[in-house]
Chains A and B, each alone.
Chain A
Amino acid sequence: MHELSIVYNILEIVKEHAKNNNLNHINKVVVNVGEFCSLEENSLTFAFEALSKGILCNGAALVIQKTEAKAYCTHCSTEFKVTFMSKLCPICKGYSHQITAGYEILVSSIEGE
């Protein structure tokens, strides 16, 4: 259920940037969600619809773009794609716990007028 607090923070960021750019209505909000965030897409959309009613983002589309999880192998100086179950470097087969991407939740862009 922390999707609600995540959406609350998304709307705060949108509000701030809409104000700075003189936007009176937002039509689209694009967010990047890392694969390791354990956020459920339907719950995010549901929370977004509920919390944006009657305000700046009323009726806006929430576009969720998943971003791949990656890790860095210090031995091979290479970044590679990882999953929860597999974090072995494709070159040396060593385990990497240096996660470089996958935990981020970003407000990527907004569209409005």
Chain B
Amino acid sequence: MKQIVIKKSVLESNDKIAAMNRTLFNSEHVFTINLLGSPGSGKTSILENIISKISCKYNLAVIEGDLYTAKDAARIARYNTNVVQVNTGGACHLDAPMIYKALPYINTTNLDFLVIENIGNLVCPASYDLGEDMKVVVMSVTEGNDKPLKYPSMFQRSHIVILNKTDMLSLTDFNKEEFYQDIYSLNETIKVFEVSCRDGSGLDQLIDCLMRAIKNKKDV
């Protein structure tokens, strides 16, 4: 019987490829976000709003993650945006090799902004670095304010949380005070944007924040 000490990271193979993706994004000055969130929270609706406000100023591209369908990519393609569909065939998260393989289908020269829309899931995608600059997580008021504490890793690791469907606040028991208390106990430095894709409120502040980040990366 022999004992071998290894001490090797299980995510090392993912993280190596994520580093290659990040090197490419940095050398081309492409600001990249990993758009995460629960199913039905409004990730694609938010993305549609981002595209319609940002595409006149910056070149953007989208990688759409989905288990089986190209429904979201079809929605995004309506905006004449460079979009690539990645189907995971049932896997619950995107990983760095999937993004690496999708990149040849995007023209990264002169690209300013890349959005990777992940699989709707508040658990697994948090653990996989894709090479992004920022993790942005979307949740909606109809899911209830207890979600950050129920899925702490996702909210702890994100830079921005978007609280969507705020037009429905009065119809739900969503407790904003508890929501903010929980969010900041998990992650004191997270930025919170309250938005409604239905009535358009709060979207300008979110888009301003993203445009500043795109510009900063361009100017590096």
Residues of chain A at the chain B interface (Cβ within 8 Å): 1-2, 5-6, 9-10, 12-13, 17, 21, 23, 27, 31, 36-38, 84-87, 95, 97, 103-113
How many A-B contacts if CB must be within 8 Å? Answer: 89
Instruction: Report chain B residues within 8 Å CB of A2.
Output: 92-93, 123-124, 127-128
A-B contact pairs, 5 of them (CB 8 A): A1-B92, A37-B153, A84-B186, A85-B186, A109-B5
Closest to A87 in B: B188
On whether the beta carbons of B91 and A110 are closer than 8 Å, the reply is: no
- With A2-B92, A108-B6, A109-B6 known as contacts, the answer to whether A36 contacts B153 (CB < 8 A) is yes
Number of interface residues of B (CB under 8 A): 32
Closest-CB distance, A83 to chain B (whole angstroms): 9
On whether the beta carbons of B156 and A36 are closer than 8 Å, the reply is: yes
Query: What is the bound-complex CA distance between A37 and B93, given in angstroms?
Result: 15
Per DSSP, chain B at the interface is mixed
On whether the beta carbons of B1 and A27 are closer than 8 Å, the reply is: yes
Query: Pick the contact of B7 from A37, A85, A97, A108 — CB < 8 Å?
Result: A108
- With A2-B123, A5-B91, A105-B11 known as contacts, the answer to whether A111 contacts B185 (CB < 8 A) is no
Query: What is the bound-complex CA distance between A12 and B7, given in angstroms?
Result: 14
Residues in B118-154 with C-beta less than 8 Å from chain A: 123-124, 126-128, 149, 151-153
Sorted from nearest, which 7 A-B pairs have the closest CB atoms? Answer: A2-B124, A84-B152, A105-B10, A95-B188, A38-B153, A9-B10, A109-B5
Query: Pick the contact of A13 from B6, B187, B189 — CB < 8 Å?
Result: B6
On whether the beta carbons of B2 and A23 are closer than 8 Å, the reply is: yes
- With A37-B153, A109-B5 known as contacts, the answer to whether A13 contacts B93 (CB < 8 A) is no
Residues of chain B at the chain A interface (Cβ within 8 Å): 1-11, 13-14, 91-93, 95, 123-124, 126-128, 149, 151-153, 156, 185-189
Instruction: Report chain B residues within 8 Å CB of A112.
Output: 1-2, 4
Instruction: Report chain A residues within 8 Å CB of B156.
Output: 36, 84
Instruction: Report chain B residues within 8 Å CB of A37.
Output: 127, 153
Closest to A3 in B: B124
Closest to A22 in B: B2
On whether the beta carbons of A38 and B185 are closer than 8 Å, the reply is: no
Query: What is the bound-complex CA distance between A105 and B188, given in angstroms?
Result: 25
On whether the beta carbons of B9 and A113 are closer than 8 Å, the reply is: no
Query: Pick the contact of B8 from A23, A85, A87, A106 — CB < 8 Å?
Result: A106
Instruction: Report chain A residues within 8 Å CB of B124.
Output: 1-2
